[in-house]
């Protein structure tokens, strides 16, 4: 693994830090074959080529009549004889003779010589006679064989996250099993003498450890395999043991807490001896301190302790890095949108801020965003109430109500 570049630790921007980290990332090796039902959210490790034309036959896109366009009168109604009825799934009907129509249902194979489907609503019939309204277009309502995918064409490329649409597409090819990257293994622990685990009463000066739960949630939601190693005391031997245990079982080790000045003092030499690490002061809020490095073959992320900072640094740096390690190509991007803020937003220039916002639709149907209020990096409630980040760029200062700001939604369709 390359040495981590020696960047000025005082002046890293979010983008610079992402670029440095990105240079160290290669997808895990290790793939597995899984049935489609178990493949949701995984990253495809093979090319899926279509073994067939999809759809396999020329077929009707509407319920109605399959006709020969040349039979239709240029103006006025056309009278044709109904020669057969064909339902979806039925065998290929016989070729269509001149002056004939075939009653056809959506998805049913269009017979040879028929080139046009007339929707039922533009016809009337009596016995075996049908009258076609004027104004039809040559080739309308016919789905061509292979118009979705031609035989031999690439349907899904390696690195694609398999969502519902990909599962359906692969199923439409008759393929029931795929090769995916094995899940990324991520071990994490919290550091801090003040932390109590759930189930124990709080002693004086203690708080409950929440970071392991947000990390568990953020990691599991991405489909990673998590190993929660609990709370580790602020003690070099305890931390060294935890690092060793974590590095044995995982591809990535994440810690929270103890990366601010002073407390980091014993983590830094430990990591320098056991692996390699850089501590950065990122120009961002919340989440200024951040450590990145290697513990043997493992990637290491040392996140700040403050609960909101953990989530923000995870989304700003760790998410994309882990997705790359897990095999994602291209990275599933979380788009940003510009909307008006209805509340003023306080900010100092010189750092990117990830404020918490609530985006909603006003009475006029426009989407606007408002602040969740207190933006302290320990106020986890601000994350729970929010449905988006308001991303304020590094150079800018405070923002007045009514100004346009960039937001990034927490929620997607999947």
- The 149-188 site mask, x for binding Mg ion (CB under 5 A), equals ----------------------------------------
Nearer to ligand AMP, 39 or 308 (CB): 308
Nearer to Mg ion, 260 or 340 (CB): 260
Using DSSP, state whether 248 is helix, strand or coil. helix
Nearest approach in angstroms of CB 226 to ligand AMP is 15
Q: How far is the CB of 398 from ligand AMP (least distance, A)?
A: 25
CA torsion, ordered 118, 124, 130, 135, to nearest 10 deg = -40
Least separation in angstroms between residue 253's CB and Mg ion is 17
Q: Which does 211 bind (CB under 5 to 8 A by kind): ligand AMP, Mg ion, none?
A: ligand AMP
- In the set 93, 146, 183, 192, which binds Mg ion (CB under 5 A)? 192
- 291 is written with which tokens? 């450590």
Nearer to ligand AMP, 190 or 368 (CB): 190
Q: What is the dihedral of CA 390, 396, 402, 405, to 10 degrees?
A: -30
Choose the stretch contacting Mg ion; rule: CB under 5 A; options: 173-181, 250-258, 274-282, 384-392. Answer: 250-258
Q: Which residues contact 401 (CB under 8 A, 6 or more apart)?
A: 341, 342, 343, 344
- In this complex, which beta carbon is closest to Mg ion, that of residue 293 or of residue 305? 305
Nearest approach in angstroms of CB 203 to Mg ion is 16
Bridge-partner residues for 191, per DSSP?
232
SS3 399: strand
Q: For ligand AMP, which is the closer residue by CB, 21 or 291?
A: 291
Q: Which does 190 bind (CB under 5 to 8 A by kind): Mg ion, ligand AMP, none?
A: ligand AMP
How far apart, in whole angstroms, are the C-alpha atoms of residue 372 and residue 374?
7
Contact between 258 and Mg ion by CB under 5 A: the answer reads yes
CB nearer to Mg ion: pick between 257 and 357:
257
Shortest Å, Cβ 23 to ligand AMP: 26
What is the 8-class DSSP label of residue 8?
-
Contact 176, 37 (CB under 8 A): no
- We find the least distance from the C-beta atom of residue 260 to ligand AMP, in angstroms, to be 5
Beta carbon nearer to Mg ion, 192 or 357? 192
Q: Which burial class, exposed, middle or buried, applies to 164 when counting CB atoms under 10 A from its CB (0-12, 13-18, 19+)?
A: exposed
Name the residue whose CB lies closest to ligand AMP. 305
214 vs 394 by CB, closer to Mg ion = 214
The one of Mg ion, ligand AMP, none whose footprint includes residue 240, by CB under 5 to 8 A per kind, is none
Under rule CB under 5 A, which residues in 293-322 are in contact with Mg ion? 305
The encoded tokens of residue 337 equal 């949108």
Among ligand AMP, Mg ion, none, partner that 343 touches (CB below 5 to 8 angstroms by kind): none
Does 257 contact Mg ion by CB under 5 A?
yes
Shortest Å, Cβ 407 to ligand AMP:
26
Judge whether 218 and 383 are in contact, CB under 8 Å: no
Read off φ and ψ for residue 109, nearest 5 degrees: -65, 135
User: Closer CB to ligand AMP, residue 53 or residue 263?
Assistant: 263
Neighbouring residues of 285: CB distance < 8 A, sequence distance ≥ 6: 351, 352, 353, 354, 377
Neighbour-count burial for 62-93, b at 16+ CB within 10 Å, e otherwise: bbbbbbbeebbeeeeebebeebeebeeeeeeb
Interface positions with ligand AMP (CB under 6 A): 190, 192, 194-195, 207, 209-211, 256-260, 263, 304-307, 378
Binding-site size, Mg ion (CB under 5 A): 4
Q: Is 359 exposed, middle or buried (0-12, 13-18, 19+ CB in 10 A)?
A: buried
**HSE value, Cβ hemisphere, 13 Å, CA-based, for 216:** 11
Interface contacts to Mg ion, rule CB under 5 A: 192, 257-258, 305
């Amino acid at each position: 693994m390359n040495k981590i570049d020696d960047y000025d630790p005082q002046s890293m921007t979010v983008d610079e830090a992402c670029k440095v980290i990105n240079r160290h990332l290669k997808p895990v090796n290790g793939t597995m074959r899984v049935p489609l039902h178990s493949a949701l959210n995984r990253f495809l490790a093979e090319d899926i080529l279509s073994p067939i034309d999809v759809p396999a036959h020329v077929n009707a896109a509407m319920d109605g009549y399959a006709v020969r366009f040349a039979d239709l009168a240029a103006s006025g109604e056309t009278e044709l004889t109904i020669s057969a009825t064909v339902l979806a799934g039925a065998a290929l009907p016989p070729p269509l003779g001149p002056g004939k129509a075939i009653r056809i249902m959506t998805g049913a194979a269009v017979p040879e010589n028929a080139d046009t489907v007339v929707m039922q609503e533009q016809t009337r019939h009596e016995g075996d006679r049908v009258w076609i309204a004027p104004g039809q277009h040559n080739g309308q309502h016919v789905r061509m064989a292979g118009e979705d995918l031609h035989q031999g064409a690439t349907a899904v490329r390696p690195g694609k996250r398999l969502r519902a649409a990909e599962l359906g597409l692969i199923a439409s090819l008759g393929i029931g099993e795929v090769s995916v990257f094995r899940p990324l293994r991520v071990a994490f622990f919290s550091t801090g003498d003040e932390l109590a685990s759930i189930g124990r009463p709080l002693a004086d000066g203690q708080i409950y450890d929440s970071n392991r739960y947000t990390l568990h949630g953020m990691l599991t939601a991405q489909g990673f395999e998590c190993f929660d190693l609990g709370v580790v005391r602020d003690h070099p031997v305890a931390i060294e043991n935890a690092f060793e245990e974590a590095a044995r079982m995982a591809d990535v080790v994440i810690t929270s807490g103890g990366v601010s000045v002073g407390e980091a003092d014993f983590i830094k030499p430990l990591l320098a001896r056991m692996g390699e690490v850089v501590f950065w002061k990122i120009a961002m809020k919340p989440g200024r301190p951040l450590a990145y490095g290697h513990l043997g073959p493992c990637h290491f992320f040392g996140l700040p302790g403050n609960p909101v900072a953990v989530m923000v640094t995870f989304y700003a740096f760790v998410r994309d890095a882990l997705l790359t390690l897990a095999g994602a190509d291209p990275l599933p991007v979380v788009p940003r949108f510009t909307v008006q803020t209805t509340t003023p937003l306080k900010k100092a220039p010189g750092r990117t801020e990830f404020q918490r916002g609530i985006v909603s639709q006003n009475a006029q149907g426009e989407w606007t965003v408002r602040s969740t209020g207190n933006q302290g990096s320990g106020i986890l409630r601000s994350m729970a109430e929010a449905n988006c980040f308001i991303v304020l760029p590094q150079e800018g200062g405070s923002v007045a109500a009514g100004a346009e700001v960039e937001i990034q939604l927490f929620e997607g369709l999947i």
